[in-house]
Amino acid sequence: MQFNNDEYETIARQIVARGNYYFFHPQVPGADREPGVPTAAREPGLPFFIAAVYLVCGVHPFAVLIAQCLLGAATCWLVGLLARRLAGESAQLIAVAVTAFYPYGIYYCAYFLRESLACFLVAAALLLMVRFLDEPRPAAALAAGLVSGLCAVTFSSWLLITGALALAIAGLALRRARLAAALLLSAWALFPGAWTLRNYAVFGRFIPGSTLAGFNFYTALIVPEEYRGTAREIEFERGDPKWSAAQDMLLYYPMDDGRQQEAFMKAAREHIRARPGEYLAHAGRQAVKLWRFYPYPRQYPHSYRLIKAASLLSDGWLIPLGLLGLVLFWRRSGDVRLYAAMLLLGTGVYALVSAIVRYRLPMMLPLIALSAAVLAEAWERRQRRA
């Protein structure tokens, strides 16, 4: 079993052993040796979560997997509470059951990736936000702001999503509770602000998210969708002179984690200015890709037929039923408008930057709650007729 997916666990070990946020980079001379080099390539949410588990349980990777399973169970409960607000106890039970057996949720509990933690935080943030709108008290504002801020430092894309939602919610509450609205925004900014200040102090650059954002952004622009994640991807990357020039900045990694990011972002801006129509078409394709019912064929460690079947048996009905729930409950619950805003913001962010099917996993949670509400009401209507 691979524990060090995308180096989150390596950084966590450094936090526990030395108290620093360092990284080993095997492609950089001198950066593959102790104690490594400072980095902003990975957001701090998951490394600090792993480090916290290690501090309590010792450096035992299976303890993290157990902790992620517990997060998954807590996420089921949170999604159930979201569904209960829409259609009562029956919807709650259905939502808990569906989330518990949701294939992607189970799958990512076994990997050291952000998805399990991000799902828990997004579900908690949604619940706290709707409760804040019910009664905008300072304590509710503090909880909603802090948890949504944790989302932002766990997954860079959620910096924009939760930031926009926090602004909108604070605006709605401004007339009723100015102090609570201000507290919500201040609490949200705490963790992203601390991360950004740390990066400026270490690298002298404004880095509010991850320094891999530029790499992912430009790579998505130059590699056709059907070849992303395949062996041919590297052919398109190496055949692009701007990508190669930006990749050469890797040699500066031990001194400046943001220089390569800047080069990729510059290349992306130039690409978009030169081909604006192509970029808009690309964004449209990315949005469609994000909400595909099943992933593209790739060299997965598991059977692609099994992955496709599991996806169709889950997302294949949860996505359309959840969208139907948006329509049916639009006038009946203010929660639904928050879910719609989150789905639009998330789709827009990933369409403009880089879309991967697993990135939508936290956005599936309100769709599961909505699907459960639709099923619960359909069942109750059937019972009344009988």
Q: How confident is the model at residue 55 (pLDDT cuts 50, 70, 90)?
A: very high
Do 287 and 280 meet the contact criterion of CB atoms below 8 Å apart?
Answer: no
Q: How confident is the model at residue 26 (pLDDT cuts 50, 70, 90)?
A: low
What would the mean pLDDT of 312-321 be, rounded to a whole number? 97
Q: How confident is the model at residue 85 (pLDDT cuts 50, 70, 90)?
A: very high
Report the SS3 class of residue 211: coil
Q: Say if residue 36's pLDDT is above 80.
A: no
Amino acid at 224: P
**Domains in the chain: how many in total?**
1
Closest CA to 155 of 47, 294, 246, 65: 47
Phi-psi domain of 217 (left: phi exceeds 0; alpha: psi -120 through 50; beta: other) = alpha
pLDDT digits (tens, 9 = 90+) for 212-221: 888 889 999 9
Cα–Cα dist 295/318, whole Å: 15
Residue ranges of E strands in the chain: 22-23, 37-38
Q: How confident is the model at residue 232 (pLDDT cuts 50, 70, 90)?
A: confident
Do 203 and 258 meet the contact criterion of CB atoms below 8 Å apart?
Answer: yes
What would the mean pLDDT of 327-348 be, rounded to a whole number? 96
pLDDT of residue 3: 59
Cα 8 to chain centroid distance, Å, stands at: 15
The pair of three-digit structure tokens given for residue 44, joined into one six-digit string? 């701090």
Closest CA to 3 of 55, 90, 67: 67
pLDDT of residue 256: 63
pLDDT of residue 331: 92
Strand 22-23 and strand 37-38: the pairing is: antiparallel
The pair of three-digit structure tokens given for residue 345, joined into one six-digit string? 């913001």
Q: Say if residue 28's pLDDT is above 80.
A: no
Q: How confident is the model at residue 38 (pLDDT cuts 50, 70, 90)?
A: confident
pLDDT of residue 189: 97
Q: How confident is the model at residue 288 (pLDDT cuts 50, 70, 90)?
A: very high
Q: Say if residue 124's pLDDT is above 60.
A: yes
Q: Say if residue 6's pLDDT is above 80.
A: no
What would the mean pLDDT of 24-52 be, rounded to a whole number? 78
First and final C-alpha spacing in the chain: 51
pLDDT digits (tens, 9 = 90+) for 135-194: 999 999 999 999 999 999 999 999 999 999 999 999 999 888 999 999 999 999 999 999
Range of the domain at 67: 5-385
Residue ranges of E strands in 224-318: none
Closest CA to 81 of 37, 128, 32: 128
Tokens 């990736």 correspond to what residue?
113
Of the ranges 5-19, 115-129, 345-359, which is most confident? 115-129
